[in-house]
Amino acid sequence: MGVYTRFKKDPSGLRKLVELLESTPMSRRQKMIDVGMQEDPDYTQKALAMMMTWEDVMKLPDMELAEVIGKSPSARTVAYAIKPYAQDVTDRWLKNCRPQTAAEIKDTLTQAIQPRDTGAAQLKLVSIARALEKAGLVKAKRIP
């Protein structure tokens, strides 16, 4: 019995696999992808094509980005996620949030942030974007 068998048997299994891959740190995700490619390359490729990434979140239209920011558990999460980016990226995120949240993000951006914290925050925001996609509020990378 293969690792992906349980996903293939479930009618919503593809969505569950995609969401699992999206929320798994890159090192473990790659191991899952490698196993999937050996077990069923077509199914794995289908899941990978539907997978939402941090880059997809970065490209969301402003209204959808504002939804993601609004659902974020904290301003710190947003700040950690965007810390490594240039000022133009930071400005775009700040203009899409409430003034109080923007002030908290700006304050957090002045602090030192560990790269692992950035990765974790980005995974959290991808999960939020996926939940919003499921609710019909985000249109990127829809899963049928």
Buried b (16+ CB within 10 A) or exposed e, 94-122: bebbeeebbebbeebbeeebeeebbeebb
Q: What are phi and psi of 96, to 5 degrees?
A: -100, 20
pLDDT at 127: 95
What are the Cα distances from residue 90, in Å, to 12, 82, 121, 125? 36, 6, 15, 15
Q: Which fold has domain 54-134?
A: Annexin V; domain 1 (1.10.220)
pLDDT at 5: 84
Q: Where in the chain is the domain with CATH 1.10.220.30?
A: 54-134
Note the pTM of the prediction, 2 decimals. Answer: 0.88
- Those residues of the chain that have pLDDT short of 50 are none
Distance CA 89, CA 1 (A): 45
